[in-house]
Amino acid sequence: MKLSARNVLQGRVVEVHKGQTTAHVRLEIGPGVIVTASITNEAVDDLALKEGDTASAVVKATDVMIGK
């Protein structure tokens, strides 16, 4: 399935931290460049996410702000 989301940033999972319903997943998408995602625990299980996995951070263009 191809997505309309404009941003698909490939990287490597460096951390998966589960709470009671929400998990934080960190991806290294470049040398020292870390992206943090907040997703459901169910999604972590569904994708069997674990440290070392190749995965992508997917972000819709409308969810990206610019800072200058």
Q: Given the rule CB under 8 A, which residues bind a copy of itself?
A: 1-9, 17-25, 27, 29-30, 33, 35-40, 42-44, 46-49, 53-68
Closest distance of CB 58 from a copy of itself, Å: 4
Minimum distance, C-beta of residue 18 to a copy of itself, in the bound complex (Å):
7
Give the contacts of 16 (CB within 8 A, at least 6 positions apart): 23, 24, 25, 26, 44, 49, 50, 51
- For the CB of residue 7, give the shortest distance to a copy of itself in the complex, in Å: 5
The rounded distance, in Å, linking the Cα atoms of 7 and 62 is 10
